[in-house]
């Protein structure tokens, strides 16, 4: 590591960009340091499924050349970023954490990724995740789990566990994840970083390997709320390649980030503060609420009575959409076809999918196929779509009274890998995040303290299209609290070279 | 199986699951092994008996949790068919460039000329 890069691990994107602009630091140095840090942490974390050392260094040098030539470059130019391995980048592998897609090369680039590439960002690698983003611990990856930098024996959460872990480890300043039922916010909470899920339809899903299309949304992991705002601003906006993107103009969240919360009405949903919270999570969130009050916010208890129906509704709709989306993985056009010799079509379908998909993906395809089948459709799918309306309507009612909601992100802190062995207890991890996806709202998780040395996350939820408000409310807490500078230490086993 | 669905998944809704499959001892609200096997066939998953038995137990537990929504009064509640207000997204019906054929075929498990090659469709 060169002297210029030493100590920049905790820097914000803005500060790094200023150093790049003043030529105090080159992107090549910054990217090299990121790649070295990734290599150092990998034995403990397994945060990456593929790395792009040469590709990254080439991009970094291109950014440096542009700055040296005094070309007008984006603030984000030369900043390293990692991508969850469900996002396509042309000519690079993408597996979605599935053995079925081992060896697949993206023929094109996702819109969100293309916009960051156009800004000159440097892609360092593809991060580990639960297979097809289905899970809350990264243990469903076909390539083995990821560890949590705060305690590598614990899960980083999921499904975007690798993206959260590598930002928490200070290897890269930012990464991208996807959030279908909490897959950005929950791992951000468990890893002590910022994770932002924009309003549904704000960021194009083109080039994202689909899990549940009415719920999926791409968003950033960062160490600062401001950095999340910068990445969101770059990615958001209509895209002709995704007809669900919104045509409403994108409000720039950056100018109002520091507007504070004085006079804002912040709601605390009583159903989110129920008995399922661990004591440390409750204490940290209550302290955060008190801090908001000190900042001049008006705190109001509100009620979202259908909250406890969120998981049931989600586990009808998400598997239903997944069973349809994953029908494309049949061995015809891509993926590992089985048997390898030319077999009758049906035999190929059955073998390819039986051996290619892991247990959780099969479980969800089965569940989705069942709830969509004749005789059960009305009882499950139609009913769930109605309850989804109820949940969305309750949020709308509450947002007529408050500007944003504050709540815990996850009922507990990071749990040991292997601790949640049955599907239902794993699903419970997302009880406080899925309602936000069902209603299509923006939500963010920011660090708000620790329980037994493991990070606690505070969730801020806003009305549709109030992404800027969510970021502003989150930023006010981040500024008033001191958590953003807390960083995990490199595990003793890695610093001494002992075998893990 | 008497009914076939298009494609490999069961995204459609016109498939009957054989409600009479109670002979394998499933209790009320639980799935029988035959039902699980039929769903697996519809989903083109080719599961083995051990997997089917495991899924029979797991899916029954999950479905019993999910059935909480059955008790909700949703009379006169519209289905949430879309997120937000966007109803339809229109654009001019014009041809735009597609990915080059070579790129599309680059990940093909097997090809013949400019086509994907698969085994016999009819046995």
Per the CB < 8 Å rule, is B119 touching A342?
A: yes
Report the pLDDT value the prediction gives residue A229, as an integer from 0 to 100: 98
Report the pLDDT value the prediction gives residue B29, as an integer from 0 to 100: 60
Is A84 labeled as catalytic in the residue annotation? yes
Q: For residue A492, name the pLDDT band (cuts at 50, 70, 90).
A: confident
A-facing residues of B in 59-98 (CB < 8 A) are: 59, 61-63, 65-70, 72, 74, 77-84, 86, 89, 91
Residues of B within 8 A of A357 (CB-CB) are 45
Least Cα separation, residue A439 to chain B (angstroms)? 7
In tens, the pLDDT along A87-130 reads 999 999 999 999 999 999 999 999 999 999 999 999 999 999 99
Three-state secondary structure of chain A: CCCCCCCHHHCCHHHHHHHHHCCCCCHHHHHHHHHHHHHHHHHHHCCEEEECHHHHHHHHHHHHHHHHCCCCCCCCCCCEEEEECCECCCCCECCCCCHHHCCCECCCCCHHHHHHHHCCCEEEEEECCCHHHCCCCCCCCCCCCCCECCECCECCCCCCHHHHHHHHCCCCCEEEEECCCCCCHHHHHHHCCEEEECCCCCECCCCECCCCCCCCCEEEEECCHHHHHHHHHHHECCECCECCCCCCCCCCCCCCHHHCCCCCEEEEEHHHHCCCCCHHHHHHHHHHHHHHHHCCCEEEEECCHHHHHHHHHHHHHHHHHHHHHHHHCCCCCCCCCCCCCCCCHHHHHHHHHHHHCCHHHHHHHHHHHHHHCECCCHHHHHHHHHHHHHHHHHHHHHHCCCCEEEEECCCCCCCECCCCCCHHHHHHHHCCCHHHHHHCCCEEEEEEEEECCEEEEEEEECCCCCHHHHHHHHHHHHHHCCHHHCCCCCCHHHHHCCCC
- The active-site residue, picked from A27, A37, A171, A183, is A183
Per the CB < 8 Å rule, is A385 touching B83?
A: no
Q: Which of the four CATH numbers 3.40.710.10, 3.90.1300.10, 3.40.50.300, 3.40.190.290 does domain A8-306+393-496 have?
A: 3.90.1300.10
- When CB atoms are compared, the residue of A346, A348, A373 closest to B10 is A373
Q: For residue B45, name the pLDDT band (cuts at 50, 70, 90).
A: very high
Average predicted confidence (pLDDT) for chain A: 96
- The active-site residue, picked from A27, A159, A175, A410, is A159
Residues of B within 8 A of A244 (CB-CB) are 83, 86, 89
Which of B68, B118, B122 is the best substitution to test chain A (most A C-beta atoms within 10 A)?
B118
Per the CB < 8 Å rule, is B45 touching A370?
A: no
- The active-site residue, picked from A84, A126, A197, A420, is A84
Per the CB < 8 Å rule, is B45 touching A362?
A: yes
In tens, the pLDDT along A30-81 reads 999 999 999 999 999 999 999 999 999 999 999 999 999 999 999 999 999 9
Report the pLDDT value the prediction gives residue B83, as an integer from 0 to 100: 83
Closest-CA residue in chain B for A94?
A: B107
- When CB atoms are compared, the residue of A331, A372, A382 closest to B10 is A372
Domain boundaries for CATH 3.90.1300.10 within chain A: 8-306+393-496
Per the CB < 8 Å rule, is B70 touching A350?
A: no
B22 vs A127, higher pLDDT: A127
Inform me whether the C-beta atom of residue B1 falls under 8 Å from chain A C-beta atoms. Answer: no
Per the CB < 8 Å rule, is A424 touching B65?
A: yes
ipTM of predicted assembly, 2 dp:
0.92
- When CB atoms are compared, the residue of B13, B47, B119 closest to A354 is B47
Report the pLDDT value the prediction gives residue B5, as an integer from 0 to 100: 34
- When CB atoms are compared, the residue of B9, B48, B121 closest to A323 is B9
Q: For residue B1, name the pLDDT band (cuts at 50, 70, 90).
A: very low
């Amino acid at each position: 590591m060169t002297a210029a890069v030493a100590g920049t691990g905790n820097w914000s994107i803005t500060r790094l960009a200023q150093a790049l602009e003043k030529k105090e630091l080159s992107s090549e140095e910054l990217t090299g340091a990121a790649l070295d840090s990734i290599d150092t942490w990998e034995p403990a974390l397994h945060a990456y499924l593929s790395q792009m050392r040469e590709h990254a260094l080439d991009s970094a040098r291109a950014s440096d050349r542009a700055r040296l030539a005094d070309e007008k470059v984006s603030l984000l130019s030369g900043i390293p970023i990692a991508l969850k391995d469900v996002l396509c980048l042309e000519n690079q592998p993408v597996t979605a954490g599935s053995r079925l897609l081992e060896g697949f090369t993206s023929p094109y680039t996702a819109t969100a990724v293309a916009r960051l590439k156009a800004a000159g960002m440097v892609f360092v690698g593809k991060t580990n995740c639960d297979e097809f983003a289905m899970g809350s611990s990264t243990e469903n990856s076909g390539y083995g789990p990821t560890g949590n930098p705060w305690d590598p024996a614990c899960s980083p959460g999921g499904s975007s566990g690798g993206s959260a872990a590598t930002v928490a480890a200070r290897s890269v300043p930012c990464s991208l994840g996807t959030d279908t039922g909490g897959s950005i916010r929950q791992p951000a909470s468990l890893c002590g970083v910022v994770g932002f899920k924009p309003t549904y339809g704000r960021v194009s899903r083109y080039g994202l390997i689909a899990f549940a299309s009415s719920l999926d949304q791409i968003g950033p992991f960062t160490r600062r709320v401001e950095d999340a705002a910068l990445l969101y601003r770059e990615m958001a906006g209509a895209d002709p390649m995704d007809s669900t993107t919104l045509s409403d103009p994108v409000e720039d969240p950056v100018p109002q980030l520091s507007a504070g919360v004085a006079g804002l009405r912040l709601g605390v949903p009583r159903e989110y503060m129920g008995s399922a919270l661990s004591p440390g999570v409750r204490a940290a969130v209550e302290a955060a609420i008190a801090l908001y009050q000190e900042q001049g916010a008006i705190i109001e208890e509100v009620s979202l009575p259908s909250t406890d129906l969120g998981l049931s509704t989600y586990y009808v709709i998400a598997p239903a959409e997944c069973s349809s989306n994953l029908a494309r993985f049949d061995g015809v056009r891509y993926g590992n076809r089985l048997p390898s010799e030319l077999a009758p079509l049906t035999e190929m379908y059955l073998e390819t999918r039986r051996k290619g998909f892991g247990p959780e993906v099969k479980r969800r395809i089965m569940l989705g196929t069942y709830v969509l089948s004749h005789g059960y459709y009305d009882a499950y799918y139609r009913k769930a779509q109605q309850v989804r309306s109820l949940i969305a309507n309750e949020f709308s009612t509450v947002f007529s009274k408050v500007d944003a909601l504050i709540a815990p992100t996850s009922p507990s802190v990071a749990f040991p890998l292997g601790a949640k062995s049955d599907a239902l207890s794993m699903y419970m991890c997302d009880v406080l995040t899925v309602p936000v996806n069902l209603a299509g709202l923006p939500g963010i998780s920011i660090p708000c303290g620790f329980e037994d040395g493991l990070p606690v996350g505070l969730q801020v939820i806003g009305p549709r299209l109030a992404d800027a408000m969510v970021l502003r409310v989150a930023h006010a807490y981040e500024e008033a609290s001191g958590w953003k500078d807390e960083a995990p230490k490199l595990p003793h086993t890695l610093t001494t070279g002992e075998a893990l | 199986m008497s009914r076939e669905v298009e494609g490999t998944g069961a995204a459609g809704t016109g498939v009957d699951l054989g409600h009479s499959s109670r002979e394998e001892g499933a209790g009320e609200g639980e799935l029988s092994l035959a039902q699980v096997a039929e769903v697996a066939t519809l989903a083109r998953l080719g599961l083995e008996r051990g997997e089917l038995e495991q899924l029979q137990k797991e899916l029954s537990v999950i479905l019993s949790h999910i059935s909480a929504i059955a008790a909700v009064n949703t009379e006169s509640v519209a289905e949430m068919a879309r997120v937000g207000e966007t109803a339809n997204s229109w654009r001019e019906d014009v041809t735009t460039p597609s990915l080059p054929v070579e790129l599309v075929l680059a990940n093909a498990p097997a090809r013949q000329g400019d086509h994907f090659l698969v085994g016999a469709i009819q046995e």
